[in-house]
């Protein structure tokens, strides 16, 4: 259990330059990352870059006002199992399904996702592929049927003054 949500902790999003910046992480970014985790039944989502301060972002290929500096973006690699990564096309497709408004394929496994809109950014939509420089991808959707993880819900019941606790799985 992370301190931001079930699967994510604040330190994972901290600026890598050492400035300590991590206070701007957008709640809807975390909520969508949780939805993505669930849709892909992920083993783990690794945040390779989360918040970046305006000084640091240009040193790793971004710019001083990019989505990372606003706390609305994450570069991610999604593990299907402890040793197998999802390919970036599948991650981008699932990211589109859960409603990320900014999605950019970085390489064969890494994907940039963000929750840009006109109140937090200069535009409200970007689907791109950094490998080709294509900034006008219409959709990543290939019609893949995902099988999201079923949620387990803790329950406890009292029968004849005995308390029974356990987990039930949502149908």
| Residues of the shown chain interacting with Zn ion in the complex, contacts defined by CB under 5 A | 15, 17, 19, 21, 53, 56, 75, 112
**CB atoms inside a 10 Å sphere around CB 93:** 22
Distance between CA atoms of residues 126 and 105, nearest Å? 11
Q: Which is nearer to Zn ion, 38 or 49 (CB)?
A: 49
**CB atoms inside a 10 Å sphere around CB 31:** 15
Distance between CA atoms of residues 74 and 12, nearest Å? 10
- Given a contact cutoff of 8 angstroms between Cβ atoms, the answer to whether 52 and 69 are in contact is yes
Q: Which is nearer to Zn ion, 53 or 95 (CB)?
A: 53
Q: Which is nearer to Zn ion, 108 or 168 (CB)?
A: 108
User: Taking the complex as a whole, how short is the minimal distance between the CB of residue 53 and Zn ion, in angstroms?
Assistant: 3
Which two structure tokens, joined as six digits, stand for 133? 């420089």
Which two structure tokens, joined as six digits, stand for 19? 């400035």
User: Taking the complex as a whole, how short is the minimal distance between the CB of residue 147 and Zn ion, in angstroms?
Assistant: 28
Q: Which is nearer to Zn ion, 42 or 110 (CB)?
A: 110
User: Taking the complex as a whole, how short is the minimal distance between the CB of residue 163 and Zn ion, in angstroms?
Assistant: 48
User: Taking the complex as a whole, how short is the minimal distance between the CB of residue 21 and Zn ion, in angstroms?
Assistant: 5
């Amino acid at each position: 259990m992370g301190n931001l949500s079930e699967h994510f902790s604040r330190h994972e999003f901290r600026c890598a330059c050492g400035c300590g910046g991590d206070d701007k992480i957008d709640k809807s970014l975390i909520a969508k990352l949780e939805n993505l985790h669930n849709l892909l039944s992920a083993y783990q989502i690794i945040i390779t870059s989360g918040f970046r301060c305006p000084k640091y972002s240009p040193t790793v290929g971004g710019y001083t006002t990019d989505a990372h500096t606003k706390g609305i973006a994450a570069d991610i690699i999604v593990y299907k199992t402890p040793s197998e990564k999802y390919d970036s096309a599948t991650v981008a497709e699932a990211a589109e399904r859960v409603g990320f408004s900014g999605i950019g394929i970085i390489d064969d496994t890494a994907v940039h996702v963000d929750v840009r809109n006109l109140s937090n950014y200069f535009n409200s939509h970007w689907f791109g592929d950094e490998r080709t420089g294509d900034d006008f991808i219409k959709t990543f959707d290939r019609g893949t049927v995902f099988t999201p993880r079923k949620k387990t819900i803790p329950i406890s019941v009292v029968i004849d003054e005995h308390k029974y606790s356990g987990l039930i799985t949502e149908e």
